[in-house]
């Protein structure tokens, strides 16, 4: 609903899971996605589905365990096996934690700057009041 037509949506079929949206440039197709990026997207989705991560799950006829299905079957002409690779998920988790820490530290610094400015303003006001 909110994505662009060229975006690719990853989700564990028929199970509760995270949604990963891969923004694509206009004119690019699913075939243009590097295999490493596809694996990262699949791992993130698979890891964030309790059932998808532990359950070999219901499959359509002929699908192997861990094989990914596609909503638009016309654009899918390949299959990808999604064995859990914890390193990929751990890297994304580490990056997210690092970003959150950086954001928190930046907000703390902004608050400290505001407090310092407020104290300086009060000090200047007192000095002006004394001079008057």
Distances (CA, A) of 15 to 66, 81, 98: 13, 17, 30
Q: 29 and 76 share a domain?
A: yes
Tell me, yes or no, whether 45 and 107 share the same domain: no
pLDDT at 6: 80
- Could you give the angle at the alpha carbon of 21 between the alpha carbons of 74 and 13, nearest 5°? 60
Residues 27 and 81 in one domain: yes
Domain co-membership, 25 together with 79: yes
- Print the domain residue range for 120: 101-131
**Banded model confidence at residue 78, pLDDT cuts 50, 70, 90:** very low
- With H, G, I as helix, E, B as strand and everything else as coil, classify residue 96: helix
pLDDT of residue 125: 94
In a domain, residue 1? The reply is no
Average pLDDT over residues 20-35: 87
Q: Clarify whether residues 65 and 85 are in a common domain.
A: yes
- If you average pLDDT over residues 70-90, what whole number do you get? 61
**Is the pLDDT assigned to residue 62 strictly greater than 60?**
no
> In a 3-state reduction of DSSP, which class is residue 123?
helix
pLDDT at 60: 53
Please indicate, yes or no, if residue 82 is contained in any of the structural domains. yes
Q: What is the pTM of this model?
A: 0.51
2 part of a folded domain: no
Verify that 11 and 67 share a domain, yes or no. Answer: yes
On the question of pLDDT at 10 being above 50, the answer is yes
Q: How many domains does the chain have?
A: 2
The rounded distance, in Å, linking the Cα atoms of 69 and 13 is 7
For residue 82, what pLDDT is reported?
52
């Amino acid at each position: 609903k909110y994505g662009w037509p060229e975006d690719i949506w990853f989700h564990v079929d028929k199970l509760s899971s995270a949604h990963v949206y891969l923004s694509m440039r206009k004119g690019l197709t699913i075939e243009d996605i590097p295999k490493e990026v596809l694996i990262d997207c699949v791992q993130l989705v698979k890891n964030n589905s309790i059932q998808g991560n532990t359950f070999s799950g219901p499959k359509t006829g002929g699908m192997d365990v861990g094989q990914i299905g596609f909503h638009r079957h016309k654009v899918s002409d390949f299959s990808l096996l999604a064995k859990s690779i914890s390193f990929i998920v751990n890297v994304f988790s580490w990056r997210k934690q690092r970003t959150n820490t950086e954001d928190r530290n930046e907000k703390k610094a902004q608050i400290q700057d505001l407090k310092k400015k407020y104290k300086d303003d009060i000090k200047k006001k007192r000095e002006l009041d004394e001079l008057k």
